Amino acid sequence: MSKIKIAELFYSIQGEGRYMGVPSVFLRTFGCNFKCAGFGMPKGELSTEVEAVAARIGEFKKYEELPLVSTGCDSYASWDPRFKDLSPMLTTDAIVDRIMEILPYNRWEEEHLVITGGEPLLGWQRAYPDLLSHPKMAGLKEITFETNGSQPLDTDFKTWIHREWHHNGSIDMGRGRNSITFSVSAKLSCSGEERSEAIRPDIVCEYEEFGYTYLKFVVSTEDDVEEAIETADIYRAEGFTGPVYLMPVGGVESVYTLNNRRVAELAMKNGLRYSDRLQVPLFKNEWGT
Ligand code: SF4
């Protein structure tokens, strides 16, 4: 039986992207290939906020006791090795049992599953067929993978998607049964990540063969939006056809409220979609939301 290291597993409302407002189970896997320490920082600077948290690591017995940060990656504990002991390695059976416990009717009805991270398309891809083929997961109709778009799909996982989730060999792009979505948060320079590693249209175009795929750029300034538009054009030039969203920076309310309206206006001005972060105004982005 496969195992997955799980940072968080909780039930909430999807606050971002295509499924905003939809009741969802969130499975947050451990591990990421990026750090995104540039978020919320002046251009060219990297956040060191998490260093202060790591220095107090002994004080925290549970993931949800960790403080939120206002700069850098807002889910730092889902990949920073210093916090790895707060994320248990669970069998797929144990994960499914926990999912059944937190679903309102202890079975799938209309809820959606979000597999997020960290970066959920790292090596855990090999465990997803085992997890998603479990008999208790049979009622699940819609899955989103929230990815940074830098990881190619594993051959066995692709074979499994085609066999188990596509109707008559075609992808269900709608919101009916068996719909797979790739929500790609490609990282712009404000993340602090290397562009050559973060912007991988070759990889994202392949996602489109396996599910409904959209780009979601995290931005705060007009410069970020300009970069997002230029970057989206690079994806388009490689054949990407999906929609493009702008989403405001801000894992905490003080940062989010500074730029959410401006980002919405910039999205309108440029004919792009706006994604909120409903978990911030609704739940203050606390762990488990
Ligand atoms: S890709 Fe996502 S999870 Fe990974 S460091 Fe960046 S924001 Fe955090």
Global pTM reads: 0.93
153-172 mean pLDDT? 78
Element (H, E) at 261: helix 253-269
Cis peptide bond prior to 72, omega within 30° of 0: no
Predicted local distance difference test score (pLDDT) of residue 171: 52
Q: Which two tokens stand for residue 238?
A: 């490689």
Give the pLDDT band of residue 167 (cuts 50, 70, 90).
low
Amino acid at 214: Y
| pLDDT-derived band at 254, boundaries 50, 70, 90 | confident
* % of the chain beyond a pLDDT of 90: 74
- For position 169, what pLDDT does the model report? 47
DSSP category for residue 53: H
d(CA 23, CA 278) in angstroms, rounded, equals 12
pLDDT at 80 over 70: yes
Q: Which of 70, 75, 145, 190 to mutate to test the pocket of ligand 1 (most atoms within 8 A of CB)?
A: 75
Q: Would the CB of 149 count as within 6 Å of ligand 1? A: no
Separation between Cα atoms, residue 219 and residue 148, nearest integer Å:
15
Say if ligand 1 is within 6 A of residue 73 CB.
yes
Q: In whole angstroms, give the CA distance from residue 187 to residue 193.
A: 7
Instruction: Average the pLDDT over each of 177-181, 241-245, 266-270 and give the range with the smallest value.
Output: 177-181
pLDDT of residue 177: 47
For atom 5 of ligand 1, which residue has the closest CA?
35
Q: Relative to the CA of 73, which ligand 1 atom is closest?
A: 8
The model's pLDDT over 177-234, given as tens digits with 9 standing for 90+, comes to 458 999 999 999 989 999 999 999 999 999 999 999 999 999 888 899 999 999 999 9
pLDDT at 90 over 90: yes
CB of 118 shorter than 6 A to ligand 1:
yes
**Cα 109 to ligand 1 centroid, rounded to whole Å:** 30
CB 108 less than 6 A from any atom of ligand 1:
no
Tell me if 148 CB under 6 Å of ligand 1: yes
Q: What is the mean pLDDT of residues 144-155?
A: 97
Please write the tens of the pLDDT for every residue from 92-141.
Answer: 999 999 999 999 999 999 999 999 999 999 999 999 999 999 999 989 99
What's the chain's average pLDDT? 91
Decide the pairing of beta strands 89-91 and 23-29.
Answer: unpaired
Pocket test for ligand 1, best of 26, 30, 33, 34 (most atoms within 8 A of CB): 34
Cα-to-centroid distance, 105 and ligand 1 (Å): 32
Q: Beta strands 89-91 and 142-147: pairing type?
A: unpaired
